[in-house]
Amino acid sequence: MRVFPPRRRLLIFLAALVLGLVLVPVLFEKRLIYFPFRALEVTPKELGLRYEEARLVAEDGITLHGWFLPVEGSRFTVLVCHGNAGNISHRLDRAMLMHAKLKTDVFLFDYRGYGLSQGAPDEEGTYRDARAAHRYLSTARGVAPGNLIIFGESLGAAVALQLALEVPARALVLEAPFTSISDMAGSVLPFLPVGRLLRTRYDNLAKIGGLRMPLLILHGDRDTTVPFAQGRRLFAAAPEPKQFFPIPGAGHNDTYFTGGDPYWRAWGEFLGGLAAATGSSH
């Protein structure tokens, strides 16, 4: 049996350690990106909300679940692409606040593998799921492009952006968006080339230049999950018309609670500007 000198053994150990640090995120990347919850925590019925159950079929045959939540006097419908954890039941508080603060209809849907939706998540699958959600709104609900707001939070911002590049809508709203999964990997493991090895891309920075609708980006200035600087960088790369609203003191998951009235004012003024522009064009 060959025995290596201590210095060489140390180098071999360090090389193996670095290789392990690189390979673990690559081999388990989906488990590190997607955190789906199957069980619904609460339903609109239990909260006394008006709603319609929706069953969607993605283009590859996967059946998805969603809730359409209407409100009296709405002008816009917000299609919500949620983040990488939980399911639509964890977004009902946001939907209720959208009703109260913005008077918008809200459509929540779960990606494959989340909640009551079939399958398992991956990048292309989430894009297919968003297309299915859009088809439901445009066909079953008759939502016109001029009344549709596409909204995405965190990972959902990448899904929302891709959808906004493919279908007509009145505007796109992104909350806590990252520039790419590669950049996110680099922010977590800055000394390892993990990002280049990942199959999942969600490359928002490469895509956003093709956007052809008004854009609002909201980002907590104390976000420790998605760096605030990534939201600013994405905004800088986006074409006009665009607005950026920094949420003072907010992290990643407390944006609308910490942001409070100023947060909802930013939303309201953005939507109000869209409505005014639509009215003046007739």
**Residue positions annotated with a catalytic role:** 154, 223, 252
Q: How much is the average pLDDT of 109-119?
A: 99
- In the predicted structure, residue 31 carries a pLDDT above the cut 80: no
Structure tokens at 79: 């299609």
pLDDT of residue 30: 75
| Domain 6-280 = CATH 3.40.50.1820 | yes
pLDDT of residue 277: 84
Asked if 121 contacts 82 with a C-beta cutoff of 8 angstroms, the reply is: no
Q: What is the pLDDT of residues 56-66, one digit of tens each?
A: 999 999 999 99
Please report which confidence band the pLDDT of residue 197 belongs to, taking 50, 70 and 90 as the band edges.
Answer: low
pLDDT of residue 26: 47
pLDDT of residue 16: 44
In the chain, domain spans = 6-280
In the chain, % helix, strand, coil (3-state, to 5) comes to: 45, 20, 35
Percentage of the chain beyond pLDDT 90 is 78
Q: What is the pLDDT of residues 59-85, one digit of tens each?
A: 999 999 999 999 999 999 999 999 999
Query: SS3 of 225, please?
Result: coil
